[in-house]
Chain A
Amino acid sequence: MATIREKLVLVGNGMAGIGTIEQILKLGGAYDITVIGSEPHPNYNRIMLSYVLEGSKTIDDIILNDWNWYEDNNITLHTGTTVTRIDEGSKQVITDNGMAVSYDKVIIATGSNSFILPVPGSEKEGVVGFRDISDCDAMLEAAKQYNKAAVIGGGLLGLEAAKGLVNLGMDVTVVHLMEDLMERQLDRNASSMLQAELERQGVKFAMGKQTVELTGEQRVNGLRFSDDSTLAADFVVMAVGIKPNVTLAKESGITVNRGIVVDDYLQTSMQNVYSIGECAEHRGVCYGLVAPLFEQGMVLAKHLCGSDTKPYEGSVVSTKLKISGVDVFSAGEFMDSPEHTVISSKDEWKKTYKKILLKNNVIVGAVLFGDVTESANLQKLVKQGAVMTDEIYSEVMGTGCCGGGAKKGTSVEAMADEEIVCGCNGVTKKAIIDAVTENGFTTVDEIKACTGATRSCGGCKPVVEQILQFVLGDSFQQGAKQGICSCTTLSRDEIVAEITAKGLKTTKEVMNVLEWKQEEGCSKCRPAINYYLGMMNPDTHQDEKESRFVNERMGANIQKDGTYTVIPRMYGGVTTPEDLKKIADVSLKYDVKVVKVTGGQRLDLIGVKKEDLPKVWEELDMPSGYGYAKSLRTVKTCVGSQFCRFGTQDSLGMGALLERKYERLDFPAKFKMAVNGCPRNCAESCTKDIGIVGNDGGWEVFIGGNGGIKPRIADAFCKVKTDEELIEVCSAVMQYYRETGNYLERTSEWVERMGLEQIQMVILNNEENRKELAARIDFALTQVTDPWKKILNDNSTRTALFEDARV
């Protein structure tokens, strides 16, 4: 049993080092592994820090390996510990707290630090870099207290930091030495488009400015530039570059240039000591992006495990800005010079820009702005040094009406097995192929579930699809038929058709008869089938609580700590002093943490304990506001003709009427409406599923708007003259959506899938059809009841659902 394993010490607990360890574990490397890191966290995904700042992810979300992972893999982890020296003689690494850990092999993966400009005042309070979680925390904290921020550096990091701070509500100016943003990745065209787009999003710019001093007493209060102009700022982020962290290597006598010098097997000048990631310098290059880390890690892992590997010969780097709403990409050489042949297209209306650089007809670089769908493909072509052909041209430039499509399979064929497909999770082409061949997978979802590819940012999905297509060959079309989830290959329409044809009554019957792979389905298909059954048979279908997502089952929104949010109904956003008083009394009595006004003009009572929910509802004695449901959420209104000097229609009255009429009915997804009294559109109907705008002669109806995850401006649907017509049109649109929408498909996607004209044809050109749709929704509406009341009247469900048993 007692085999002696070699001791491997990893210095640095970041993505590069842990990525290597993961590869070593996969290869079955026989090492006793110790990881020593100076940050107090387990390993996290540094490239996602901008999402944390932007608010779309929390720090917990970007943890890659939690504490259990180290334990499960028998890895000794020392956090908050800094290695000060590697002693070659005694083969020990020495730490700042006096530990001496013996090694056979060492990997230095200490990454890099923010480069702090050596100008007077850079040590002042309120000046940070943007590099790690503590910087991120400092920025989140600053946004709460201060208003004016300056970000020095208009590169990738600087822009991400700036956008994050704008999202946090700060007034942000980016100070950049050059005249062009991201000049190391973008050409002038893309750069100016980027600046215009970011300005539109609220970022200010001070271009061509060299900072010479940070002013202020103890805390920074401004910047002074070389032209003697100044900028006020009470928070400054330095994002001018990174500096490989080479202290340890230097102290230990290892050869250091800009970074720690390594050879093609990542070996440093000291025997048995390797280095990888941002701290390493390979063939004169220090990389500051993620893809090279994985490529280096793969070579090093194989080398350490004694398996055959090609040497590391450097990486082609590509860049994608991660901040939302701005898509830019560049790979390889991007600045045109006389030796290049340049293919470019710029569309100022669509705000897109595309440029491909050729050298002797070989694709050597590319820049994309606005539309980056071809980024994965171009990155690959640049990496391969592909020769430009007519096919590739029509594929990537989008000309030639029937190019692309099936031909795309050819490029992944040439991709090396070790090549990283998913940069976020370090998944290689081979890992994907293995997953397909060993498990018989046929869908991207299955690959995602097994390997993690496409799971984080999703940018690699097209390539994963191409690999799938390449491996499955002719069987792809058939095999890749996407069911509604991995339990079935049947589509939504097929399932609905089978339910009608075979008269199926329960989710269980559906799954049984239609031969589900997982007998009782999953969290995706069960709620969907329950919805379809209820939509088709509103009077006879027994709603299945066990197939409902927790929020709909409990009648409130679950929060991350297991407490709930309660939203009482307020028709059209209108309440009364009496109701407000009641809400306040109940909130105090049940210790509600926060009372918040929602985006849809309602009140959120956040932080109600599960067992208090029935009592809260009982004492509020108001209808459920359905803040949790796949049904009508709210009808947002403006003040309208009752009070507003501009209002031409009674939006308050109409909003409340519509909300009362359609509340409680199930929809494929949440459904939002707005009614405006005049074209000033104060209730923002352009981002609602149905938006209604009053004008002098009647109402205008808009459909398919969305302000959420995929924003979309609503399409003008029709104009009507009377309130009756308005209600009939709304009814017909809603019922048509209920009958044809995929479960969880918002109207914004539905309108695009069905086509606006198709919906107009069904509803506007065919009066009989419209009346039948309206009649069907009216019938379904006779069946709905208030869930809060229902639970209050059902003692046994109430006990089983809401009360904990204590023994």
Chain B
Amino acid sequence: MKMTTQTYAIGSVQDFLMQIGRVVVAGNVELAVFRTSDGRIYALENRSPHPKGGPLAEGIVSGHFLYDPLYDWKIDLRTGEVQAPDQGSVVTYPVTLDGENVTVSV
């Protein structure tokens, strides 16, 4: 049970290449942060829901979907839901954009 959330400033929009994920360690949570082509930023726990685990940050981004780098599972960046026929979900964290500044609540 997580009782408190903390907000972290994780940099400026420019620190995140379009459609290329980046690992951000916020407190003790490792996040995969993605900037989609519509300018939005999403933060997910950097861990594949595949039984063998592995990182997500290096996947291929399309629209607001991510193809994970190890097993090619398709994951919705907005909800963390894995798309059929695979099953599972990734924890997502809320991201706020204030001008150029990106913050995430973990």
Once the chains bind, are B55 and A562 in contact (CB under 8 Å)? yes
Once the chains bind, are A523 and B11 in contact (CB under 8 Å)? no
Assess A805 versus B15: contact at CB under 8 Å? Given A449-B84, A519-B63, A558-B69. yes
Once the chains bind, are A546 and B24 in contact (CB under 8 Å)? no
Q: Is B91 interfacial (CB-CB < 8 Å)?
A: no
Once the chains bind, are B60 and A800 in contact (CB under 8 Å)? no
Once the chains bind, are A560 and B15 in contact (CB under 8 Å)? no
Once the chains bind, are B88 and A68 in contact (CB under 8 Å)? yes
Bound together, the chains give a CA A526 to CA B61 distance in angstroms of: 10
Determine the main DSSP class of B at the interface with A: loop
Q: Is B19 interfacial (CB-CB < 8 Å)?
A: yes
Once the chains bind, are A558 and B52 in contact (CB under 8 Å)? no
Once the chains bind, are B60 and A455 in contact (CB under 8 Å)? no
Nearest-neighbour CB distance to chain B for A62, whole angstroms, equals 10
Q: Is A806 interfacial (CB-CB < 8 Å)?
A: yes
**Which single member of A68, A450, A558, A807 contacts B87 (CB below 8 Å)?**
A68
List the B side residues contacting A805 at CB < 8 Å: 10-11, 15, 22-25
List the A side residues contacting B88 at CB < 8 Å: 66, 68
Bound together, the chains give a CA A455 to CA B72 distance in angstroms of: 14
Assess A523 versus B17: contact at CB under 8 Å? Given A450-B84, A560-B52, A805-B10. no
Nearest-neighbour CB distance to chain A for B25, whole angstroms, equals 5
List the A side residues contacting B63 at CB < 8 Å: 518-520
A to B contact number (C-beta, < 8 Å): 104
Residues 143 to 161 of chain A near chain B (Cβ within 8 Å): none
Q: Is B13 interfacial (CB-CB < 8 Å)?
A: no
Bound together, the chains give a CA A540 to CA B19 distance in angstroms of: 22
Q: Is B67 interfacial (CB-CB < 8 Å)?
A: yes
**Which single member of B11, B16, B52 contacts A60 (CB below 8 Å)?**
B52
Bound together, the chains give a CA A553 to CA B22 distance in angstroms of: 13
Residues 53 to 102 of chain B near chain A (Cβ within 8 Å): 53-55, 58-63, 65, 67, 69-70, 72, 74, 84-85, 87-88
Once the chains bind, are B51 and A523 in contact (CB under 8 Å)? no
Q: Which of B16, B18, B51 has the most CB of A within 10 A?
A: B51
Assess A804 versus B25: contact at CB under 8 Å? Given A522-B67, A523-B72, A561-B54. yes
Nearest-neighbour CB distance to chain A for B79, whole angstroms, equals 14
Q: Is A216 interfacial (CB-CB < 8 Å)?
A: no
Once the chains bind, are A804 and B24 in contact (CB under 8 Å)? yes
List the A side residues contacting B65 at CB < 8 Å: 518
Contact with B along A62-80 (1 / 0, CB 8 A): 0100101100100000000
Nearest-neighbour CB distance to chain A for B18, whole angstroms, equals 7
List the B side residues contacting A545 at CB < 8 Å: 17, 20
Nearest-neighbour CB distance to chain B for A163, whole angstroms, equals 25
Bound together, the chains give a CA A804 to CA B88 distance in angstroms of: 26
List the A side residues contacting B51 at CB < 8 Å: 60, 63, 66
Bound together, the chains give a CA A522 to CA B73 distance in angstroms of: 11
Q: Is A345 interfacial (CB-CB < 8 Å)?
A: no
Q: Is A789 interfacial (CB-CB < 8 Å)?
A: no
Q: Is A13 interfacial (CB-CB < 8 Å)?
A: no
Bound together, the chains give a CA A182 to CA B103 distance in angstroms of: 65
Once the chains bind, are B69 and A550 in contact (CB under 8 Å)? yes
Assess A804 versus B23: contact at CB under 8 Å? Given A58-B52, A520-B63. yes
Once the chains bind, are A546 and B58 in contact (CB under 8 Å)? no
Chain B: which residue is nearest A546 at the CB level?
B19
List the B side residues contacting A558 at CB < 8 Å: 55, 58, 69-70
Once the chains bind, are B62 and A450 in contact (CB under 8 Å)? no
Q: Is A448 interfacial (CB-CB < 8 Å)?
A: yes
Assess A807 versus B24: contact at CB under 8 Å? Given A520-B63, A546-B61, A562-B55. yes
Chain A: which residue is nearest B62 at the CB level?
A520
Assess A807 versus B59: contact at CB under 8 Å? Given A560-B54, A562-B54. no
**Which single member of A455, A520, A561, A562 contacts B85 (CB below 8 Å)?**
A455
**Which single member of B20, B26, B54 contacts A800 (CB below 8 Å)?**
B20
Nearest-neighbour CB distance to chain A for B36, whole angstroms, equals 9
Nearest-neighbour CB distance to chain B for A526, whole angstroms, equals 6
Chain A: which residue is nearest B36 at the CB level?
A520
Q: Is A409 interfacial (CB-CB < 8 Å)?
A: no
Going nearest first, the 5 A-B pairs with the smallest beta carbon separation are A523-B67, A546-B19, A550-B58, A804-B23, A550-B69
Q: What are 15 A-B pairs with beta-carbon distances under 8 A?
A: A452-B85, A518-B62, A519-B63, A521-B62, A545-B20, A549-B60, A549-B69, A550-B60, A560-B54, A562-B55, A800-B16, A805-B10, A805-B23, A807-B8, A807-B9
